[in-house]
Amino acid sequence: MRHAKGARTGKKKSMSTEFTSDSYSKTLFEGLPEFQPGWVWLVGGGPGDRGLLTLHAINAIRQADAIVYDALVDETILSFARPNILVEFAGKRGGRPSPKQNDITLRLIALAKEGKRVLRLKGGDPFIFGRGGEEALGLVGAEVPFRVVPGITAGIGGLCYAGIPATHRDINQSVTFLTGHDQTGSMPDALNWDAIAKGSQVIVMYMAMKHLRSITAKLLAAGRDPHEGAAVICNATTPRQAVLVSDLQSIAEETEKSGLKPPALCVVGNVVRMRDGLDWLGFATQGKTLTATPLKPKE
């Protein structure tokens, strides 16, 4: 783990000052849980845009004595914290040196045993491909009390910012969330790809960029419609967000040609077609023209 640059030694940003003023505290944080010494809170930091933080998350950050945060967390979120607290980076990036999961859990335990209020800040939601369950069980084994604060997962928030609804009743009544790699970094062969291809109306894939070509090949081999809508969303909900829309048979090749890099989501399903009518962010920032009938065949 490494300390974050400028780790809580300078002046707090104005947003932090505003949110800790008496007038805001009384209305925003009254009645919310008090962070007790010796506890660990596993907190979801949302998909990227700090405006998507929950009030519980901000309440936790402003009370913490120590924060251990992940790679996908927007570091400006740390401005909500008190000055001079301990802040440690424990992020993981595919192929790069990073702390072992067990070492992170042991660090949380050690800090809690020191009597600190320990905040484990994770991107998205702790229990959606966030290893939050593993860390929580480690705390249980060490008899360290904990609390879990949910966050907006990228598979929901990221699609929304791309103008792609996870569900639309004219298209789907179910959604499948899956990870694009297993614990070894390989494509998850334990998944029943045939069942997913045939039974999942919409598929949302986390961390699938590395194996996207292999995954789409399996879906196609299992009979998935090659012309079905597909999209890749990189850096979802952030100012760097980029969206590539294609179809299932072409999405892997077009993604490789585009040069898009992780972190990214991939969604397969005809909800992707809804983007022509629901890309509210493109309308707001680029003046994109939207259609009220995105499912109508194009002439």
Q: Which of 246, 181, 257, 177 is nearest to 212 (CA)?
A: 181
Compute the C-alpha angle 286/287/293, nearest 5°.
Answer: 120
Of 12, 49, 92, 194, the active-site residue reads 92
Is position 70 annotated as part of the catalytic site?
A: yes
Of 70, 125, 276, 279, the active-site residue reads 70
| Calpha distance 36→146 (Å, rounded) | 10
Cis peptide before 99 (omega within 30 of 0): no
Of 187, 205, 207, 209, the active-site residue reads 207
**Residue positions annotated with a catalytic role:** 70, 92, 207
